[in-house]
Chain A
């Protein structure tokens, strides 16, 4: 009998004689994604694992153990708190506060009108200006946003999708004014429109022109902004919308493949743009499931990029990602408990080998975070980095029968989704058919039912409730005067700028939009002439049209 058969036999015996006769709590042992978990994992669960083929070494194919050879022994992850509210002046103050407290990168949150491509004085913007992010109408606001922050020294992530090209152009133009050439700029634009159609729903143009703008960005960046991450392919919002861990993994990677295919179809060499693709994942409450998800994601991406898309540059194979802890896991009840939830989620992201991390603040389920809440969230990362010891060795959970087995299962289940999406005709067709939207809505509903039936306990919500709870934390308020101030600012801009130059640059951009020319230089010209975000978007809508979704639930 082989060693393995012996273990299997012993396992059977133990299961019958000991485990089966033991005490069992009357609960379902499943992950937060309803995935059943066994009581014990042994070498038999990973009998097909081939170390060199499936795991390898950090910084080497297939990158299961991490994308850098030294990981956190070389450099810690970037601690990057997503922030932005009210006016550019106020957000600029918050960025300086965060940099002073030891944050190592910036991350800009825009308000809804900016995300949707409307100026602050548009009727649709009423009540939304500066509410859930900073209001940016033109280059003038962007200059204020980064005033006193040298753009050759920080890396900046901008969560912007529909109008990503325009905000990116504003950033490049702001750097020009600071005397920083675009070649030196480091940062990320989210620019992931597919997940907008799937989950977050902040879209502007229909899929086809949206994909064209994205490939224009890939091409422009490869020549002029080589250190910029041109896209952050995001599972975060897919998960927040209710997806399971496997759905997040599979749908995000499927989107990634779609961008790679779009780039190749646009005539670009895969190795010219693939090294600048980056990813963004959620970290939810199920500790091991999350860690397995990150490890599986790296392995799947590396294999596909090498084997299917023929990438030759090893940098094209490696999946670098940002992580944010799960906003949807936070509770309005006993919000201080959210500090603890966030800490566990952050630890999972670090054990999963993230390149950068945002930790949510305890009050984010109620409003935008206060300075105190943000500081605790940032300190949580610093405690993980400097006090827990988890950064001493690379990928410390590798070789765990459970973690390796779960990693394999996540990969296999993701592969099944890839086949399904393929059968539906690819990502765009699957979006049109509402496939992702339905899968996510179903999973969200099941999750909610599980909580209501108390199959899943959420502390403070459906168990351990404080009946007469009084909220004891402070809440950040946005002054309603912000909207008026921003409206006046944009009106003033329209009066004082060179309106002929604005018209000329907009017309030139429109012509380029109608042709196949790369749009980015034209958008840059319009931005430099202080055309507003809304004006540029309106001009492009006149060529590209607008996306509409079929409502379903």
Chain B
């Protein structure tokens, strides 16, 4: 059996809606992952510093304020600049379909899950994409 998958769940920006991030964090923990939650109102720099320091495999962003087109690219760029290019960046929130496509196409996010997504689907995606051996 490999090591545990490490995930940083983060709330970047000013948005305080934390229902989704907490539900997902708990589901990932119940699925056997190590989950760290940043808490609210984090700058992109803070999120990336925490990701590097905690040596995570995945960063999950929750954004419901409409700032996703700014925050995803910025955090992806900062991860890449800080030796975090192997860290997967996923997220969820109120993200319209066009924006979602664009973020995935320009590789600002590796996977995006909109409201209504079963948490199992997120668990499965992570298990499929993170190598732990």
Residues of A within 8 A of B (CB): 112-113, 115-116, 118, 123-128, 131-132, 196, 200-202, 240-242, 328, 331-333, 365-368, 440-441, 444-445, 448, 451-452, 458, 461-462, 471, 475, 477-478, 480, 549-553
Contacts and interface: CB of A to CB of B under 8 A. Distances in A.
Contacts of B15: 112, 128, 132
Given A333-B116, A452-B118, A553 B67 contact: no
Interface string B23-49: 101110000000101111101000000
Given A124-B43, A551-B38, A444 B22 contact: yes
Nearest to B36: A551
Contact of B26 (A115, A445, A452): A445
A82 to B, nearest CB: 15
Nearest to B29: A553
Contacts of A550: 39
Interface in B1-60: 9, 13-19, 21-23, 25-27, 35, 37-41, 43
A366 B26 CA distance: 24
Given A112-B67, A452-B120, A478-B66, A124 B37 contact: no
Contacts of B119: 448, 452
A127 B108 CA distance: 15
A441 B25 CA distance: 11
A367 B18 contact: no
A366 to B, nearest CB: 5
A127 B16 contact: no
Contact of B65 (A132, A332, A444): A132
Nearest to B69: A127
A118 B22 contact: no
Contact of A365 (B38, B43, B94): B94
Nearest to A128: B67
A551 B39 contact: yes
B98 A445 contact: no
Contacts of B71: 127
Contacts of A368: 66
Nearest to A440: B19
* Best-buried of A123, A445, A451, A477 by chain B (most CB within 10 Å): A445
Contact of A202 (B16, B26, B64, B114): B16
A551 B38 CA distance: 7
B82 interface: no
Q: How large is the interface on B (under 10, 10 to 19, 20 to 34, 35 or more residues)?
A: 35 or more
A489 to B, nearest CB: 19
Given A127-B71, A365-B94, A367-B94, 10 more contacts: A112-B13, A123-B43, A127-B74, A131-B65, A131-B67, A132-B64, A196-B16, A201-B40, A241-B19, A549-B40
Contacts of B97: 366, 471, 475
A431 B59 CA distance: 28
A165 B41 CA distance: 22
24 contacts: A116-B41, A123-B43, A124-B41, A128-B13, A128-B70, A131-B66, A132-B15, A196-B16, A200-B16, A200-B17, A201-B18, A202-B14, A240-B17, A240-B19, A241-B17, A242-B19, A332-B115, A366-B97, A367-B66, A367-B94, A367-B96, A368-B66, A478-B66, A551-B40
A53 to B, nearest CB: 39
Nearest to A241: B19
Contacts of A444: 19, 22-23
Chain A interface, >50% SS class: loop
B106 to A, nearest CB: 15
Nearest to B14: A112
Nearest to B72: A127
A551 B37 contact: yes
B19 A332 contact: no
A369 to B, nearest CB: 12
Contacts of A125: 14
Contacts of B14: 112-113, 115-116, 118, 124-125, 128, 202
A444 B22 CA distance: 9
Nearest to B38: A551
A471 B116 CA distance: 15
Q: Kindly list the 4 A-B residue pairs having the minimum CB-CB distance in the complex, ordered from nearest.
A: A127-B70, A201-B16, A551-B39, A131-B66
Given A127-B71, A331-B116, A452-B118, A553 B66 contact: no
A550 B71 CA distance: 23
A440 B27 CA distance: 16
Contacts of A471: 97
B61 to A, nearest CB: 12
Contacts of B43: 123-124
A328 B19 contact: yes
B16 A448 contact: no
A549 B41 CA distance: 10
B16 A365 contact: no
Contacts of B9: 553
* Best-buried of B18, B71, B74, B94 by chain A (most CB within 10 Å): B18
Nearest to A124: B14
A458 B41 CA distance: 31
Contact of B116 (A118, A126, A196, A332): A332
B26 to A, nearest CB: 5
Contacts of A115: 14
Contacts of B66: 128, 131-132, 367-368, 478
A448 B69 contact: no
A127 B13 contact: yes
Given A127-B67, A131-B67, A553 B37 contact: yes
A549 B19 contact: no
B16 to A, nearest CB: 3
Contact of A475 (B17, B21, B23, B98): B98
Contacts of B37: 551-553
